[in-house]
Amino acid sequence: MDGTRFTRNLLDWYDANRRDLPWRDDPGPYPVWISEIMAQQTQMDRVVEYHRRWMRHYPDPEALAKAPEEAVLKSWEGLGYYNRARNIRKAAARIVDEFGGEFPSDPAVIRSLPGIGEYTAGAIASIAFGQPVPAIDANVLRVFARVLDIDTPIREKAGRGQVEACVRELLPEDRPGDFNQALMELGALVCSRLPDCPVCPVKEHCLAHARGTIGARPVLPPGKDIIRINMATGVLVHEGQALIQKRRPDDVWPGLWEFPGGCLEQGETPEEALVREYREEVELDVVPEEKITVVAYSYTRYRVTMHCYLCRPANGDVPAPVFNAAVEGGFVQPASLADYAFPSGHRRLIDFMRNDLRFAELFRLS
DNA sequence: AATACGTGGGT
DNA sequence: TACCCAAGTAT
């Protein structure tokens, strides 16, 4: 392969076709860092709005280090993988404490920050500091699985090693950041799962294209089984307020808020599960009064069907809840539910209630 | 090396 | 409907 020509074709295509992203005008390390963390396992189109809002709230590492974790999680609500948000905040504190608020430029130091792995360190070093280091993400792996026609699973060491060697050889000293971004942009816009080979700027260099093996590249690992679960959750309303609780740090969705509830056990109806879960989690007796809706959502390898009920206390006397499954909790005004970070399923339940006339009074009162 | 960690969009 | 999987990291 003519490496010089490959790189020139790619960069010319990138200059003409790259998307206009907020941090691309002036790629400083802080905006680039935030964009790279947000983009992990997340499509760029979704990142843009979060990034804009983030820069307004936390314009620099100092603002971020000072912000309460609650506020940072709320800013991250809906993006998922919430440890990313926690780690950004921890890293910001280190940047302020150890580096006087200046983002470090040494790749090894960048790599040592929480939440920054091999890929992200390379991306920041090359894009924000112009250092000739690779940044190999899923796009780059897919592109070179095709260009080199790699017939082993691309996430495994052998294939990865081939890709990295190739990237290092092609990486131009003068525009390493643009080169890395161009590979990713190509993977996102042209060399995607179903590639658009006719418009590809490097098809003349592509072995899989020449051999007709594009459809078989990259070689993927076997898919994992999906687990379907049914859950019940209840919005307990007492004196115009709703009960929420904050999830534990070692649990799924650490630090996010939710309505009490849980998985249906064998043979249980959603209502029965709800009554049981309320006893177990908060030691309250509740009566499911009305089905609100059913929310379907998924997380990692689970597909959840969540049955949602409006509940009232079973007895006139309502003792203080005991939070056995959460770090804290309490009754809050329905209107203030907007201020807490919820997992997407619970957020959608809240949105549903806010838009359903049956619950208009509840939300208006608060 | 394998698994957990969220979410939404595409085919 | 049922997958696939996206600018990955931590353990």
Secondary structure in 3-state letters for A286-347: EEEEEEEEEEEEEECCEEEEEEEEEEEECCCCCCCCCCCCCCEEEEECHHHHHHCCCCHHHH
Q: What per-residue confidence (pLDDT) applies to A365?
A: 58
Which candidate, A157, A314, A155, A160, places its Cα nearest to that of A222? A155
DSSP A43: -
State, as a whole number of angstroms, the distance between the CA of A140 and the C1' of C11: 25
Considering all nucleic acid strands, name the nucleotide whose C1' atom is nearest to the C-alpha of residue A156.
Answer: B1
Closest residue (CA) to C1' of nucleotide B4 is A300
Residue nearest to nucleotide C7 (CA to C1'): A39
Does A186 share its domain with A51? yes
DSSP string of A88-111, one letter each residue: HHHHHHHHHHHHTTPPP--HHHHH
CA-to-CA dists, residue A1 to A6, A87, A189, angstroms: 8, 41, 23
Give catalytic status of residue A36 as yes or no.
Answer: yes
Contact call for residues A39 and A135 (beta carbons, < 8 A): no
Work out how many domains chain A is built from and give that number: 2
Q: Answer whether residue A89 is part of any domain.
A: yes
- Tell me if the bond preceding A218 is cis, omega within 30° of 0: yes
pTM of the predicted protein model:
0.94
Give bridge partners of residue A261 from the DSSP assignment: A233
So what's the pLDDT on residue A366? 52
Task: Kindly report the number of other CB atoms within 10 A of residue A148's CB atom.
Answer: 20
- How confident is the model over A3-14, as pLDDT tens digits? 799 999 999 999
CATH of the domain at A74: 1.10.340.30
- b/e burial code for range A184-199 (CB count within 10 A of at least 16 → b): bbbbbbbbeeebeeee
Residues A210 and A262 in one domain: no
Strand C lies under 7 A from the Cβ of residue A116: yes
Residue A216: CB less than 7 A from any atom in strand C: no
**Residues A316 and A337 grouped into a single domain:** yes
- Which nucleotide shows the minimum CA-to-C1' distance to residue A84? C9
Residue A222 DSSP class: P
Round to a whole number and report the distance in Å from the CA of A142 to the C1' of C6.
Answer: 12
Residues in chain A with pLDDT < 50? none
Residue range A87-113, pLDDT digits in tens = 999 999 999 999 999 999 999 999 999
A299 and A231 in a single domain? The answer is yes
pLDDT of residue A157: 92
Domain that holds residue A305: 227-363
- Same-domain status, A279 and A164: no
Same domain assignment for residues A328 and A205: no
What is the number of helices (H) and of strands (E) in chain A?
15, 7
pLDDT at A3: 79
A223 CB inside 7 Å of strand C:
yes
pLDDT at A292: 96
How many Å apart are CA A148 and CA A86, to the nearest integer?
A: 38
Q: Quick check: helix, strand or coil at residue A261? A: strand
* A100 CB less than 7 Å from any atom of strand C: no
